[in-house]
Amino acid sequence: MLVLWLDEPACQQVALTGGKAASLSRLAAQHPVPPAFCLTTEAYRRWRAEEHRSDVPRDVRAAIAAAYQALAQRRTAPPLPVAVRSSAVGEDGRSASFAGQYATYLNVRDLDGVLDAVYRCWTSMDGDQVRAYHQHHGGETSECPMAVLVQQLIPADVAFVAFSRHPVTGARDEVIISANWGLGESIVNGSVVPDTYLVRKLDCTVIDRAVAEKQRMTVLRDTGVQEINVPRMMRNQISLSDQQAAAIGRLVTELEADLGYPVDVEGAYLGDTLFLLQCRPISTLS
* 24: pLDDT strictly greater than 80: yes
Residue 84 confidence (pLDDT): 97
The reported pTM is 0.88
SS (H, E, C) the chain: CCEEECCCHHHHCHHHHHHHHHHHHHHHCCCCCCCEEEECHHHHHHHHHCCCCCCCCHHHHHHHHHHHHHHHHHHCCCCCCEEEEEEECCCCCCCCCCCCCCCEEEEECCHHHHHHHHHHHHHHHHCHHHHHHHHHCCCCHHHCCEEEEEEECCCCCEEEEEECCCCCCCCCCEEEEEEEEEECHHHHCCCCCCEEEEEECCCCEEEEEECCCCCEEEEECCCCEEEEECCHHHCCCCCCCHHHHHHHHHHHHHHHHHHCCCEEEEEEEECCEEEEEEEEECCCCC
Question: What is the pLDDT confidence band of residue 129, given thresholds at 50, 70 and 90?
Answer: low
Residue 89 confidence (pLDDT): 87
pLDDT, averaged across the chain: 89
* 127: pLDDT strictly greater than 70: no
Question: Which one has a higher pLDDT value, 222 or 158?
Answer: 158
Residue 285 confidence (pLDDT): 66
* 38: pLDDT strictly greater than 70: yes
Percent of the chain with pLDDT over 90: 76
Question: What is the pLDDT confidence band of residue 136, given thresholds at 50, 70 and 90?
Answer: very low
Residue 53 confidence (pLDDT): 87
* 137: pLDDT strictly greater than 60: no
* 36: pLDDT strictly greater than 80: yes
pLDDT, tens digit (0-9, with 9 covering 90-100), for 169-189: 778 899 999 999 999 999 999
